Chain A
Amino acid sequence: MPQIAQLAATYSSQIFWVLLTFGFVFFVIGLGMVPKIQSTVDARDKKIADDLEAARANSAKADTLEADWRTKENEARAAAQARVAAAKAEAARNREAALAKADAAIGDKVATAEGQIEAGRVKALSEIEAVAADAAADIVRKVAGAQVSSDAALKAVKAVI
C-alpha cells in the first residue's frame, strides 16, 4: 500500500501541498467568493420578498380603493334614487293639486250650470203656468162665457199641474 510504504518519504510533501491548496480554496474561494455569491442570493431573496410585499400592499390598496369607490358609488346611487323619488312625489303632489283644482273648477261650473238649468226650469215652469192660466181663462171665457180672474185661473192651473 503506497500510502504506508511511501509514508516516510512523502508525508511532508503531502501535508505541505494539501495545506497550500486547501488554504487557497479556503481563503480565496471560501472567504472571497462564497460570501459574495451568498449575498447575491440573499439580495435576490430580499428583492423577491420585497416585491411580493409591495404587490401585496398594492393589492390591499386597490381593494380599499375599490371599496371606497363602491361606497361612493352606492351613496351616489342612493342620492340619485332619493332625488328621483322626491321628484316623483313632487310630481304626484302637483298632479294631485292640479287635479283637485280642476275638479273644483269643474264642480263649480257644473253647480253653476245646474243652478242655471234649475232657474231656467223654474222660470219656464212659471211661464208655462202663466200661459196655461191665460189659456185656461180664455177657454173658460169662450166656453162658459164667464169672466175668470187671472189669479183664479193661475190658482186652478197650479192645482192641476
Chain B
Amino acid sequence: MAEPGKIDPMHQFAIEPLFGTEQLAVGGYNIAFTNSALWMVITVVVLWVFMLGGMKRDLVPGRWQAAVESMTGFIAKLTDDNIGKGGRKYVPYIFSLFMFILFANLLGLLPIGIFGLHPFTFTSHFTVTGVLAILSFSIVLIVGFWKHGLHFFSLFVPQGTPLWLIWLIPIIEFVSFMVRPFSLGLRLFVAMIAGHILLKVLAGFVINASAAGVVPGLGVGIPSFALMVGISALEILVAGIQAYVFALLTSLYIHDAEHLH
C-alpha cells in the first residue's frame, strides 16, 4: 500500500472482494465476487441495455436502433473483409468480443471518481485479457483442425517457400503462431494499464503540486491537468482501437484457420 499522502498509481488495479464473498469457492478455487467481477457485470448489463435498443426491429430504425445496427454492421463488414467466405458465422463471437472489450474499456474511463466511486478497468488485467486471447486462439485451433485436419499444419509452410529453407521457415512460422495468444492478450492489457497509470500519475502531480503551494500548484498543476484532458481523449480513442484490434486480429487468425494461407 502507498504511504499516507502519496498517491499510488497502481492502486486502481487492486482487486478487492465485495459483499463479503472473499471465501466464495468452487472445488477449492476461489471465485470471490470482486470489484473486477462487479465491473464485468456492469459491462454486461450496459451492453445488454444498449443491445435492447436494437431489438425493436423497425423497418425504419430510430437513432438507437440505427446505432446498434451500425455496430453489428461494422462487425459483419469486418468479418466479410477479413475472413471472407464463411465469415458470417463468426459474427456473434467477434461481435461479443468487440463490444465486451469496448464497453469494458469505456466504462473503465468513466469519471465517476468525482462521486467517490472507483471505476475498474478489468481489461487492464492479463488474467482477463489472457482468457479472451486463449478463447480466440482455441477457436482458431479448433476450426483449423476441424476443417483441415492435419493439413492445418501446412499453415507453417507458406506457399513459395524455397526448398533449402524448408527446415527453417516452419520453425519461425510456428513460433509466430504460438506467440499470437500472448500478443493478443498482452497488447490489450498493456494499452489499458499504460493509459490508466499515466492518467493517475498526472492526477497525482496535480494534487501534490496544489498541496505544495500556489506557485507549484499553478506551474505544475495546470500543465498536468491540460495533459490529462488530452490523454483522456486519447484514452477514449485507445479504448476503441484496442477493442477493434482485438476483434480484427481474431478475425485474421480465424481467416488463417478457415482458408489456411
Contacts and interface: CB of A to CB of B under 8 A. Distances in A.
B31 A35 contact: no
B127 A38 contact: no
Given A14-B131, A21-B37, 12 more contacts: A2-B13, A3-B13, A13-B17, A13-B33, A15-B127, A15-B131, A17-B41, A22-B96, A33-B55, A34-B95, A41-B69, A44-B59
B30 interface: yes
B10 A1 contact: yes
Contacts of A38: 72, 76, 91
Contacts of B32: 10, 13
Interface in A53-106: none
Contacts of B47: 25, 29
The 6 closest A-B pairs by CB, nearest first: A30-B92, A30-B96, A17-B37, A12-B29, A14-B127, A21-B40
Contact of B92 (A19, A20, A21, A34): A34
A8 B14 CA distance: 13
Nearest to A3: B125
Interface in B180-207: 189, 193
Contacts of B93: 26, 30
Given A14-B128, A22-B132, A34 B72 contact: yes
Contact of B43 (A11, A21, A43): A21
Main secondary structure of the interface of A (DSSP, over half): helix
Contacts, number: 132
A21 B30 contact: no
B68 interface: yes
B137 interface: no
Interface size class of A (residues with CB under 8 A): 35 or more
Interface residues of B, number: 51
A37 interface: yes
B99 interface: yes
Interface in B64-114: 68-69, 72-73, 76, 91-93, 95-96, 99-100
A14 B33 CA distance: 9
B251 interface: no
Given A29-B51, A36-B57, A47-B59, A10 B92 contact: no
Contacts of A44: 59, 61
28 contacts: A2-B10, A2-B11, A2-B14, A3-B189, A6-B14, A7-B127, A10-B32, A10-B36, A12-B31, A13-B31, A14-B122, A14-B131, A15-B131, A18-B128, A21-B41, A22-B100, A22-B135, A26-B93, A28-B48, A29-B47, A31-B92, A33-B51, A35-B91, A37-B51, A37-B69, A41-B69, A41-B72, A44-B59
B147 to A, nearest CB: 21
Contacts of B144: none
Given A17-B36, A17-B40, A25-B47, A40 B57 contact: yes
Contacts of B91: 34-35, 38
A127 to B, nearest CB: 119
Nearest to B91: A34
B15 interface: yes
B13 to A, nearest CB: 4
B194 to A, nearest CB: 12
A24 B45 CA distance: 10
B124 interface: yes
Nearest to A26: B96
A35 B96 CA distance: 12
B163 interface: no
B236 interface: no
Count chain B CB atoms within 10 A of each CB in A11, A34, A41 and give the residue with the most.
A34
B40 A3 contact: no
Contact of B124 (A3, A16, A18): A3
B44 A24 contact: yes
A144 interface: no
Contacts of A6: 14-15
